[in-house]
Amino acid sequence: MSKEWIGKTSNKVKNTVDRLLVKRFAESIGDLHPIFVDEKYGEKSKYGVNIAPPTFPRVFDYGVLEGVELPMKGLIHGEETYQYERPLLIGEEVYCYTIIQDYYEKKGKSGDMGFVVIKRVGEDAKGEIIFTEIQNVIITEAVRRGINA
């Protein structure tokens, strides 16, 4: 990881809030509520359609950050934030991309640690933001050595 990666932005990828993926996701967090999975319930709801759980954007594809290689192993997920303008609707298309928002290092008890702030955004077809995710990831020294090697 390096400071040069701050500001790097991925390509935008079109994702669909797929009914079956939402059902599988809701089941995996033990939340098979009819607002997510029952089509008739969704039609009668204020949304006119089923919605997705707030942490569902985990499943989306956010494109590729050219030249940025985050390690696959040894990362510690520190913090996670979702901000929404409205819930995600089943069947809608969401355009997703990611930005490396920040990177900094701190001295820790077990060596230097790197902190990456990753922002992920989902927009509608008009480019209006539906949700923003901010993920704080910690890279421990052992892993950082591996990257720089």
Partner 1 sequence: MKTMTEFKPGETLEVTLPPVSRLDLIKYAGASGDFNPIHTIDEEAKKAGLPGIIAHGMWTMGNLGKLFTPFFEEGFIKEYKVRFAGMVFLDDILTLKAELLEASGNDLFFNVKAVKQNDQEVVRGNVHFRRYHAV
Q: Which residues would be at the binding site for partner 1 (CB under 8 A)?
A: 21, 24-25, 27-31, 33, 35-36, 45-46, 51, 53-55, 58-59, 72-74, 76-84, 86-87
Q: Which residue has the tokens 């985050």?
A: 70
Minimum gap (Å) between residue 61 Cβ and partner 1: 9
Cβ proximity to partner 1: between 4 and 69 the closer is 69
Cα 36 from Cα 8, distance rounded (Å): 34
Residues near 41 by beta carbon (within 8 Å), at least 6 away in sequence: 34, 35, 50
Minimum gap (Å) between residue 123 Cβ and partner 1: 17
Cβ proximity to partner 1: between 11 and 28 the closer is 28
Minimum gap (Å) between residue 51 Cβ and partner 1: 6
Q: CA of 95: how far to CAs of 21, 38, 61, 62, 98, in Å?
A: 17, 25, 9, 8, 11
Q: Is the dihedral of CA 27, 93, 14, 79 positive or negative?
A: negative
Minimum gap (Å) between residue 4 Cβ and partner 1: 26
Cβ proximity to partner 1: between 7 and 82 the closer is 82
